[in-house]
Amino acid sequence: MKTAISPTRSENYPQWYQEVIIAADLAQVASVRGCMIINPWGYAIWEKIQRILDDEIKARGHENIYCPLLIPLSHIEREAEHIEGFAKECAVVTHSKLQKAENGKLEPASELEEPLVIRPTSEMVIGDVFAQRIQSHRDLPVLMNQWANIMRWEMRTRMFLRTSEFLWQEGHTAHTTEDEAHSHALHMLACYKTFCEDKLGLPVITGKKSKNERFPGAVETYTLEGIMQDNKALQLGTSHYLGQNFAKSCNIQYQDAAEKRQYVHTSSWGVTTRLIGGLVMTHADDDGLVCPPKIAPTQIVLIPIIRKEEDKEAIIAYCKAIQSMLQEKVYDDGRLRVHIDIKDRKPSEKKWHWVKKGVPIRCEIGMNEVTGRNVSYALRIDTNHKREVNSLDDFNNNVIEYLSETQEKLYQSAKNKLSPKHCPLITNKDTLFKHFSTESPTPALIYWHDDDKIEKDLQEQFKVSIRCYPEEDIFNYEERGKSLFDSTKVGQLALIAKAY
């Protein structure tokens, strides 16, 4: 069977992924190494994600701010441990001018006294903001968020999954007590989980990271892990309890009720444009993207099928009537998003255009539909792209159900990846080695005690890593058991997998 995307998932998963992105026109590679241009369809999905999450973040009392793109080198140095961990690979601004060289070409001029770094995260700047704003316990908690572009000079990049520049949301909070800050980190993790599962149809396992995988400077790092169609885990977001580490390096103190100076406890948390990569790798098929209805920029597309010029007016008028009718209906967070494709292109081109973009419902409207007061439609999740015919009234009455069903089916199908069959508990070393020797092994659960060396060995031998200690055991296994690598020790249930 011919598919719209070539190669297919089973032929070459990484290549398939890139092709889906191109076919859906989500993004394209930019002329700057490791960067991408996010095209209208991809950006519209990001805007949906932004709008929903921003409302959720604000509903939890956070205020948005905007910090500078550039950070002085001396600021970066102050955060020694932090920078040691991840941000050494970053873009450095050294000049503030271009001038014509003798050969007529432009060259950098006006060298800066102090180099500036494009933000790899804004912890250091937010630290200063907090230090200035926070004087008394009356000023706490401070709950802030920022939507921004971020730059980390990645060596191996892949669109949406890992790019040198990416877009994200970074939340930063300061509290009087450890408990409050720690709870807040978990609170935001839960907010992300609900968002991923409810809106993106993306089931996730949440939990604590192993010491090795902890965010530099954090006391605890929590993660959301999704399992993609190729069985690899993808970290979809993180939330950190930072203890008083940042408070100390940025000198964020407050006067408590007894007029004693105290350091605040902080948290930070973020998700990025990577969510779109996760969406693609979870739901797309060999015909292209599949958008869960709640996040789809267009939920229903109407394609006029005009065989004779004299029918055009009637068909377009009928499409507009259907559009108006549907736009009255409310699904999830607002009115239905309905588009009529009146471009001057062949119907079959249009059909595949919208299949590849993953629009949940596609209607084809010709003279038969006009005269019969019918709607011919196909659901994107029906991979045969089979058309059904409904009377207009029936379609109008059922359309919300079609969308809900699509949303639910996508979620359930993705959830299979988290069944005991796909995510077995392994209590024997040989079984584990055999499991991870296969070509695209599913994740597994093991009893694990933090051990840097064994973790490194596993990474080298099987390219697997400890993804997290799941917060809630999804299969009712015991939370603790004999550690797989040292039976004298008690291990904690851990998710282990290949990962992006």
Assign 206 to helix, strand or coil.
strand
Asked if residue 46 binds a copy of itself (CB under 8 A), the reply is yes
Question: Least distance (Å) from a copy of itself to the CB of residue 26?
Answer: 11
Q: Tell which one of 1, 59, 105, 472 touches a copy of itself (CB under 8 A).
A: 105
Q: What binding mask, one character per residue, do residues 319-358 give for a copy of itself by CB under 8 A, x or -?
A: ------------------------xxx-------------
Work out the burial of residue 228: count CB atoms within 10 Å of its CB; fewer than 13 is exposed, 13-18 middle, 19 or more buried: buried
Q: Tell which one of 1, 102, 103, 132 touches a copy of itself (CB under 8 A).
A: 132
- Per the DSSP assignment, residues forming a β-bridge with 237 are 224
Asked if residue 83 binds a copy of itself (CB under 8 A), the reply is yes
Question: Least distance (Å) from a copy of itself to the CB of residue 144?
Answer: 7
Q: For a copy of itself, which is the closer residue by CB, 269 or 447?
A: 269
Question: Least distance (Å) from a copy of itself to the CB of residue 258?
Answer: 16
Give the integer Cα–Cα distance in Å for 438 and 207. 26
Binding part of the chain for a copy of itself, among 97-105, 207-215, 313-321, 482-490 by CB under 8 A, reads 97-105
Give the residue from 457, 417, 461 showing the smallest Cα distance to 437: 461
Q: For a copy of itself, which is the closer residue by CB, 43 or 222?
A: 43
Q: Tell which one of 9, 52, 53, 75 touches a copy of itself (CB under 8 A).
A: 75
Q: For a copy of itself, which is the closer residue by CB, 124 or 468?
A: 124
Q: For a copy of itself, which is the closer residue by CB, 75 or 417?
A: 75
DSSP secondary structure, 406-424, as one string: HHHHHHHHHHGGGSTTTS-
One-letter amino acid at 308 equals K
Phi, psi of 14 (to 5 degrees): -60, -40
CA 249 to mean position of chain CA atoms: 30
Q: For a copy of itself, which is the closer residue by CB, 145 or 229?
A: 145
CA 180 to mean position of chain CA atoms: 26
Phi, psi of 61 (to 5 degrees): 90, 5
Binding part of the chain for a copy of itself, among 30-38, 170-178, 223-231, 479-487 by CB under 8 A, reads 30-38
Give the integer Cα–Cα distance in Å for 396 and 489. 61
Q: Tell which one of 7, 115, 347, 424 touches a copy of itself (CB under 8 A).
A: 115
* Residues from 152 through 171 that contact a copy of itself (CB under 8 A): 153, 165, 167
Asked if residue 89 binds a copy of itself (CB under 8 A), the reply is yes
Binding part of the chain for a copy of itself, among 69-77, 187-195, 208-216, 284-292 by CB under 8 A, reads 69-77
One-letter amino acid at 55 equals D
Q: Tell which one of 28, 391, 428, 461 touches a copy of itself (CB under 8 A).
A: 28
* Residues from 275 through 304 that contact a copy of itself (CB under 8 A): none
Asked if residue 97 binds a copy of itself (CB under 8 A), the reply is yes
Asked if residue 144 binds a copy of itself (CB under 8 A), the reply is yes
Give the integer Cα–Cα distance in Å for 53 and 173. 17
Helix (H) or strand (E) holding 180: helix 178-198
Q: Tell which one of 11, 95, 433, 456 touches a copy of itself (CB under 8 A).
A: 95
Q: How many CB atoms lie within 10 A of CB 61?
A: 9
One-letter amino acid at 452 equals D
Q: What binding mask, one character per residue, do residues 353-392 give for a copy of itself by CB under 8 A, x or -?
A: ----------------------------------------
Binding part of the chain for a copy of itself, among 107-115, 185-193, 212-220, 411-419 by CB under 8 A, reads 107-115
Total of residues contacting a copy of itself (CB under 8 A):
66
Give the integer Cα–Cα distance in Å for 231 and 213. 20
Asked if residue 424 binds a copy of itself (CB under 8 A), the reply is no
Question: Least distance (Å) from a copy of itself to the CB of residue 129?
Answer: 6
Q: Are 26 and 107 in contact (CB under 8 A)?
A: no
Residue 186 makes CB contacts below 8 A (sequence gap 6+) with 222, 239
> Computed from CA positions of residues 196, 198, 201, 202, in that sequence, does the dihedral angle turn out positive or negative?
positive
Q: Which string of b and e fits 256-282 if b means at least 16 CB within 10 Å?
A: eeeeeebbbbbbbbbbbbbbbbbbbbb
Question: Least distance (Å) from a copy of itself to the CB of residue 442?
Answer: 35
Asked if residue 213 binds a copy of itself (CB under 8 A), the reply is no
Asked if residue 474 binds a copy of itself (CB under 8 A), the reply is no
Phi, psi of 11 (to 5 degrees): -75, -45
Q: Tell which one of 128, 180, 230, 405 touches a copy of itself (CB under 8 A).
A: 128
Name the DSSP class of 159. Answer: T
Q: Are 326 and 395 in contact (CB under 8 A)?
A: no
- Per the DSSP assignment, residues forming a β-bridge with 271 are 169
One-letter amino acid at 234 equals L
Q: Tell which one of 11, 55, 63, 333 touches a copy of itself (CB under 8 A).
A: 63
Name the DSSP class of 225. Answer: E
Q: For a copy of itself, which is the closer residue by CB, 184 or 417?
A: 184
DSSP secondary structure, 390-405, as one string: EEHHHHHHHHHHHHHH
Binding part of the chain for a copy of itself, among 116-124, 232-240, 321-329, 404-412 by CB under 8 A, reads 116-124
Binding site for a copy of itself (CB under 8 A): 28, 30-32, 35-40, 43-44, 46-47, 63-73, 75-77, 83, 87-99, 105-108, 110, 115-118, 125, 128-129, 132, 138, 144, 148-149, 151, 153, 165, 167, 343-345
